[in-house]
Structure 1
Amino acid sequence: MERSTRWLIGESIVIVVLLGILGFLRFPLIFSYDVHKTIHIVGAVLFLGNIIVTGAWMLFAERNGGQAVLHFAAKTTNWADVFFTAPGVFLLVSNGFIMATTWGGFGASWVVAALVLLSLSGIVWVIFLIPDQERLIRYSMPPEKGGDEALLLRTLHRWYFWGAVATVLPLMSLGLMVLKPRLW
């Protein structure tokens, strides 16, 4: 398992534990509403920005380079998840829960729907994208080190599909957060 994936798993465990502690404390209001909203938006920017940009990186790497370029892009994608995606998710979710708990947001249908969409994106990330990112790194190695170009391209195209799903879902969530429609 790649070191970046081990970091990502550890980081995810820390995030779940911290969210659990915040939940046990009933998501206390630590800062003013405006500060929590700003942190929430920063989290959304880190999260969405990274998942969109890494898809573009991989596409450019496939179109313009060989296995060595794809190998670098795959490893970089994993580290970008460590430094941007996971922290972005923590800031987004923790501050979203704090604001929803404090201001009664869980009664609003758009908040619940947005949270469901974000959760579905996370499920896709854990079940499909992280394992495929591991495979991309392995298959993009030189052939003498176990690389396999056919498996690399098959995995990469599957990663594009699930990456698109995992990107569209939180973009829909973002739309709900901005528009705040009454859904039910």
Structure 2
Amino acid sequence: MNAYVLLKTVHILSSTLLFGTGLGTAFFMWFTHRSGQIAAIAVATRLTVRADLFFTTPAVIVQPLSGYLLMRLMGFDLHTPWLQVAAALYLVTGACWLPVVWLQWRARNLANTALRSGTVLPPAYHRCMRLWFALGWPAFFAVIAIFWLMIAKPTLWA
């Protein structure tokens, strides 16, 4: 296997892992949250935090590294417009994801406290989840746009 095929495989697999883990954990965490079942919420938030640690974080690191190496190997310039837009969207995604990670930890801690104490979920938990949900949308659409840019490689401006 040559360097290009290896790098492209790593890049595609890590992007798939990044998108799939994000979408999967968002689905399960949001619908578990909507159930109102504190024990289920405690489990879902704990597993979401773990999934981000084990899958999302490594993919977040691999993506720009493998992307940069692919760009160099394919002879693209850093000033290529679609690459600039893709990099900007990646930063937007990261700007959404970093607070989401904190919000997930916070939601997990609040759910675990409510479960242990036998109380209802506090307003802080619900605020975390509303913000978590709101931050997920721009990140989701940014990743979709990045996929399109990587595939189409459009001429955006001269």
Paired letter, 2:132: W
TM-score, with structure 1 as normaliser = 0.76
Q: 1:147 to 1:65 in 2, by over 3 A?
A: closer
Instruction: Give 1:66 deviation, angstroms.
Output: 1.0
Instruction: Give the 3-state SS of the residue equivalent to 2:93 in structure 1.
Output: helix
One-letter amino acid matched to 1:44:
S
Contact 2:15 2:59 in 1 (8 A): yes
Q: How many residues in Structure 1 have an aligned counterpart in Structure 2?
A: 153
Q: Distance in 1 between matches of 2:126 and 2:94?
A: 24
Distance 1:61 1:149 in 2: 16
My pick for the range that moved more, 61-70 or 36-45, is: 61-70
1:117 aligns with 89
- Choose the corresponding residue for 1:171, options 119, 144, 147: 144
Using the aligned pairs only, state the percent identity.
Answer: 27
| Cα 1:151–1:117 shift into 2, 3 Å | same
The alignment's C-alpha RMSD in Å is: 1.9
Other-structure match for 1:3? none
| Unaligned runs of at least 5 residues, structure 1 | 1-30
Map 1:1-184 to 2 at 5 A: 32-105=3-76, 106-126=78-98, 128-143=99-114, 144=117, 148-184=121-157
- How far the C-alpha of 1:134 sits from its partner, in A, is 1.7
Shift of 1:65: 4.7
TM-score (norm 2): 0.87
Task: Give the secondary structure class of the aligned counterpart of 1:169.
Answer: helix
Aligned structure 1 segments of 4 or more residues deviating by more than 4 angstroms: none
- Residue 46 of structure 2 contacts residue 108 of structure 2 at CA under 8 Å; is this kept in 1? yes
> Once structures 1 and 2 are overlaid, which stretch shifts more, 164-173 or 47-56?
164-173
Task: Determine the C-alpha separation between the residues in 2 that align with 1:114 and 1:125.
Answer: 16
Residue-by-residue CA offset, 1:1-55 (whole Å, 9 max, x unaligned) = xxxxxxxxxxxxxxxxxxxxxxxxxxxxxx5211111110001000011111111
Measured against aligned partners, the alpha-carbon deviations of 1:90-148 in whole angstroms (never above 9, x if no partner) come to: 2222110101123232242111111110111112212x212211210122124338874
Q: Is the 8 A contact 2:4 2:73 kept in 1?
A: no
| Partner Cα distance (1:170, 1:123) in 2 | 12
Structure 2: tracts of 5 or more residues without a match: none
Matched AA of 1:66: Q
